[in-house]
Amino acid sequence: MTSFGIFCRGVACTVLLTMLPGPLLAAERTLLRDMIGQMLLVGFRGTAVDGYSPILRDIREHNLGGVILFDRDVQLQSAERNIQSPEQVRALTTSLQANARVPLFVAVDQEGGRVRRFKEAQGFPPSPSAKAMGQGTTAQTRFEGERTGKLLADLGVNLNFAPVADVDVNPQSPAIGALERSFSADPDLVALHAQAFCRGLLAQGVLPCLKHFPGHGSASADSHRGLTDISNTWSAAELRPYEMLIPLKTSPLIMTGHLFLRQLDDAYPSTLSKSVLTGLLRQRLGFEGVIVSDDMQMRAIADHYGQAEAILLAVEAGVDVLVFGNNLDYDPEIVPKAIDILVKAVEDGRLAPERIEASHDRILAAKQQLYTRFALAR
Gap between the Cα atoms of 288 and 104, Å rounded: 21
Q: Which of 294, 295, 320, 360 is catalytic?
A: 294
d(CA 17, CA 3) in angstroms, rounded, equals: 6
At 147, give phi and psi (nearest 5°): -65, -45
Which residue in the list 62, 193, 216, 224 is annotated as catalytic?
224
Residue 291 is classified by DSSP as E
Q: Is the dihedral of CA 278, 282, 283, 285 positive or negative?
A: positive
**Is 294 annotated as catalytic?**
yes
Q: Which amino acid is at 341?
A: I
- Distance between CA atoms of residues 99 and 101, nearest Å: 7
User: Does 361 participate in catalysis according to the annotation?
Assistant: no
Q: Which residues pair with 231 in a beta bridge?
A: none
Helix (H) or strand (E) holding 357: helix 353-368
Bridge partners (DSSP) of residue 2 are 17
Q: What letter does residue 282 receive in the DSSP assignment?
A: I
Interior angle at CA 377, CA 372 and CA 378, nearest 5: 150
Residues with a catalytic annotation lie at: 224, 294
